[in-house]
Structure 1
Amino acid sequence: MRASIGLVGLLASVQHVLAGTLPSKIYGVNIGGWLVLEPWMLPAEWEAMGGQICSDCSQCIGSEWSYTKAYPNIANAEFAKHWSTWFTQDDVNQLVADGINTARIPLGFWLVEPLVNRATEFYPEGGIVYLQQGVKMLSDAGIQVILDHHALPGVQTGDASFTGNCTEYVEFYTDYNYQRALVWTAVMTSLSHLDPNFASVFAIEAVNEPIMDADQTPGYGTFQKEFVDTVRAVELTLGIPVPGLLASGLPSRNTLVTTCAIPSFRRCLGLTVLYLVRFMDINWQYNNPSNPADAAIGPQGYDNHLYYSFGGVAAANPTAYMESICNLNRVQADAALGDTPLWFGEWGLPTQFNATDEFLYMWADAQKLAYSQGAGWIFWNFKVEQSELAGNLSRQWSYIEGVKLGFLTQDPSQYHNANVCEPYLTTS
């Protein structure tokens, strides 16, 4: 914390910019595969770079870590090509045309390069410049931004390319890596207030998809509180008023009260404080997890991800899917525990069965109806590769393609059939 506050102090003379705005209803997409590259989303490009596609990404060149380790002399240049072409102004223009108002940008901890131990950790360099360019394009287009800490130091969940290092060794839940994540948080908070390129950033998400078994995430509840403390302490250092905090520092948590309420909070504080800090909701985990609502100082938001295609949600048939989604009560269950506002930060159209076009029209409408009970939704992903190797991937994973095919409405607030759930509602 001391190191991160010192960094902000060096920047305190810079005029801070206004924070972005939480939309009245979030209609968003993830800018995935960009600054955290997931090879399954762009297999042809990945193989052309020299990467490999395999069923177990830990056993081949299947992540940013393994690629940079295998090709240390060309990794930075190859990733620079990817960063400059995967997400472009043309993509932003298309998102505007499709009515998108929010973008969630998955980021790796290695974007803050001094945090990386180059002797033992292998990640490409130079991504921060492309983040600056990307958030400026989004800001200029009027699209609000969430900075998502998607790939944490030490890896927050095992055997997943979205962590940047596909490995069974999960080491995020340690004091050392918690501290590195807090420094990352301080840097991103500082940029969000000081760099005009970041003018539409309204939230920073602490950890994408931690291990679901809370018994395997020791210290995570304490980290949640320290994450909030870090964001708010940076804002205090910059002279930004934060509800419940005194100019002299952080008081004890049981004295933190605010007279500014959502949605008037930012207006009350002069439209400068980050609107929300953001966590995966309490119901993401099991085995007596900590409640992120207990960490709140000022406004806070909550995230949940729901993919039926990975199993464990509903039986693999259209009727079971519709009955499940049409009776979803996650927004209400979270609110009862204080985790509100809730939005669904990842979802898509993929299924465990061969879905017909007719079903995908229904499936898109039903999910949008369910997720709009809360603060809104953010589709995974804005696009995926269209190539012979990728096959039919874009049909159910790409928002832009989903609109072109008609499964997703041109106006995201509209539906093909707003009564699609009526035949599937239960009375219990």
Structure 2
Amino acid sequence: MPDKIYGVNLGSWLVLESWMLPAEWLAMGGQSCSDCSQCIATEFAFAQAYPDTVDQKFEQHWESWFTQDDVDQIAAAGINTVRIPLGYWIIEPLVNRTSEFYPRGGIKQLQRGLSQLQAAGIVAILDHHALPGVQTAGQMFTGHCTNDVEFYTEYNYHRALIWTAVMTALSHLDPNFGSVFAIEAVNEPIMDATQTPGYGTFQANFVKVVRAVELILGIPVPGIQLDVPVNTSNFTYALGDVTNATTLTEIFNDEVKSALEDAIPILAEIAIELAIPTIFNFELEEAPCHSNPEPLVTNFMDVNWQFNNPPNPAAAAIGPQGYDNHLYYSFGGVADPNPDAYLTSICNLQRVQNDAAVGDSPLWFGEWGLPTQFNATDDFLFKWADAQKLAYSQGAGWIFWNFKVEISQLAGDLARQWSYLEGLRLGYLTQDPSQVHDSNVCDPYRNNGTSTSTGTGTSASTSTSAGISTSASDSTPTSNGTLVRKRHGHKRQRIH
């Protein structure tokens, strides 16, 4: 993990969000509509509509949306980290093909991209962005716009744990995955914790699955040791042998054991597809688990993402763990829609401190951007970029959404505030990501009050429509407790 993260998301690559590439999407055969559940606006709907051509169409997209030229530009921009949004369907055996519809072939593209990034010296977070059963209603980023949210069930928690076991093994055994330093469990779960039953147990099991795989590989996990020997160099055999023999129930509980057992045939299949000999002989000298025997950083959205007595992911930590927070001002509920209110809010942000107080540290801001609710001038966007970078750098760092968006007549001015590479070209973002244009940009705005949001403040932790939970010291919700967010051009509602 870098000392300070300066990153970009590789959004719309392996989880396509059609608002980000409107012209390409229409050319592929997709559609645009105000309610993404009512037309061909997502990968699920596309695969359902075009079962015979979906794999070919998406291979063309994957090859063209993220290329060696993009890697070169990202590296030239001084970026040291990428967050890669992934759907559960990238592990194809997890998909129920009778009721779930997604393109095939993404795992090879992930391997290709990670190899290119590693050669450029850029490290990666594998972000489980779109979960089995869908984790949030009505969102393109889940791969399936629907109000039928079923992730928070034993069946889909289990599928997510199998995904976790496979990704952890690949991260240690495929040399192409050698720059992966973290796996994020769930992108943007429902914010109301009363609607996410069992999520705390899932968090604990997610960490245990990661650490179980690492223990079997011989990677040191702080404070934990296997109680049985590993007597084979074939990882899939070792996974089964240890899982069946160990009495280390603090890691290998029944659900973790079941997930590991279900991962074995999937890993064997993927090892052949991706030509990974270390799956079958993880004692090979070139195996990354020998050249870099470090445990992965387990990664969660921070506890303040949710409200109504959420589980604290810090309670699940075993070994290194990091926390993610997302902040967009452009969807309302954070600050009044004017430049002074935005700058006063961001310059007095207390998210890093509030999270640290409950053990959620290190914290990085895994999504943010330059969009606003008003017509921002160039002069404001210089300040807005500086102020956000200064705020987020108080923690472990930041990851901009997105590395790029489509530049086309149909996309209009979208790239000006959503594309890191375009923001860099326009000068809002500095060539050295660790620097800002004006380190004193916040001086006129600090301590000008504790809240600039609409509505009345409380002393309790609250949740904003920007997809962030906050304390009243930096933002409060609308007075009726209902906030409506339009993220990335489509509707998101948060009611609490």
Whether the TM-score (by the shorter chain) exceeds 0.5 is: yes
| One of 312, 332, 338 as aligned partner of 1:317 | 338
Q: Specify every segment of 5 or more residues in structure 2 that has no aligned partner in the other structure, as ranges.
A: 228-245, 252-289, 450-496
What amino acid does structure 2 have at the position aligned with 1:211? I
Instruction: Tell me whether 1:157 sits opposite 2:136 in the alignment.
Output: yes
Query: d(CA) in 1 for partners of 2:424 and 2:99?
Result: 43
Query: d(CA) in 2 for partners of 1:252 and 1:34?
Result: 37
The count of corresponding residues between Structure 1 and Structure 2 is 392
Q: What is the CA distance between 1:52 and its match in structure 2? A: 0.5
Query: d(CA) in 2 for partners of 1:200 and 1:172?
Result: 29
For 2:456, the equivalent position in structure 1 comes to none
Query: d(CA) in 1 for partners of 2:345 and 2:41?
Result: 34
For 2:409, the equivalent position in structure 1 comes to 388
What amino acid does structure 1 have at the position aligned with 2:352? V
Instruction: Tell me whether 1:205 sits opposite 2:226 in the alignment.
Output: no
Q: What is the CA distance between 1:332 and its match in structure 2? A: 0.2
The worse-fitting range, judged by mean Cα deviation, of 120-129 and 237-246 is: 237-246
Instruction: Tell me whether 1:408 sits opposite 2:429 in the alignment.
Output: yes
Query: d(CA) in 2 for partners of 1:365 and 1:371?
Result: 10
For 1:94, the equivalent position in structure 2 comes to 73
For 2:297, the equivalent position in structure 1 comes to 276
Query: d(CA) in 1 for partners of 2:149 and 2:2?
Result: 35
What amino acid does structure 2 have at the position aligned with 1:252? E
For 2:171, the equivalent position in structure 1 comes to 192
For 1:326, the equivalent position in structure 2 comes to 347
For 1:399, the equivalent position in structure 2 comes to 420
| One of 245, 249, 254 as aligned partner of 2:224 | 245
Query: d(CA) in 2 for partners of 1:374 and 1:103?
Result: 17
Counterpart contact for 1:37–1:164, Cα < 8 Å: yes
Q: Percent of aligned pairs with the same residue?
A: 71
Q: What is the CA distance between 1:274 and its match in structure 2? A: 2.9
What amino acid does structure 1 have at the position aligned with 2:426? L
Query: d(CA) in 1 for partners of 2:164 and 2:119?
Result: 24
The worse-fitting range, judged by mean Cα deviation, of 214-223 and 241-250 is: 241-250
What amino acid does structure 1 have at the position aligned with 2:354? A
SS in 1 for 2:84: strand
| One of 325, 344, 357 as aligned partner of 2:378 | 357
Instruction: Tell me whether 1:109 sits opposite 2:88 in the alignment.
Output: yes
Q: What is the CA distance between 1:270 and its match in structure 2? A: 8.3
> Rg bigger for which structure?
2
Counterpart contact for 2:83–2:399, Cα < 8 Å: yes
Query: d(CA) in 1 for partners of 2:61 and 2:355?
Result: 38
Q: Structure with the greater relative contact order (CA < 8 A, sep ≥ 6): 1 or 2?
A: 1
SS in 2 for 1:370: helix
1:12-411 aligned at under 5 Å gives the runs 22-248=1-227, 250-252=248-250, 271-411=292-432
Q: Specify every segment of 5 or more residues in structure 1 that has no aligned partner in the other structure, as ranges.
A: 1-21, 254-268
Q: What is the CA distance between 1:112 and its match in structure 2? A: 0.3
Deviations 1:301-345 (A, max 9, x none): 000000000111000110000000000000000000000000000
**Runs of 4+ deviating beyond 3 Å:** 249-253
Q: TM-score, normalised by structure 2?
A: 0.78
What amino acid does structure 1 have at the position aligned with 2:356? A
Q: What is the CA distance between 1:273 and its match in structure 2? A: 2.7
Query: d(CA) in 1 for partners of 2:223 and 2:28?
Result: 50
Deviations 1:161-191 (A, max 9, x none): 1000000110000000000000000000000
Counterpart contact for 1:245–1:251, Cα < 8 Å: no
Query: d(CA) in 2 for partners of 1:297 and 1:377?
Result: 24
Query: d(CA) in 1 for partners of 2:49 and 2:296?
Result: 41
Query: d(CA) in 1 for partners of 2:207 and 2:360?
Result: 15
What amino acid does structure 1 have at the position aligned with 2:65? W
What amino acid does structure 1 have at the position aligned with 2:349? L
Q: TM-score, normalised by structure 1?
A: 0.90
Counterpart contact for 2:219–2:295, Cα < 8 Å: no
For 1:17, the equivalent position in structure 2 comes to none
What amino acid does structure 2 have at the position aligned with 1:420? V
What amino acid does structure 2 have at the position aligned with 1:176? Y
Counterpart contact for 1:308–1:350, Cα < 8 Å: yes
What amino acid does structure 2 have at the position aligned with 1:221? G
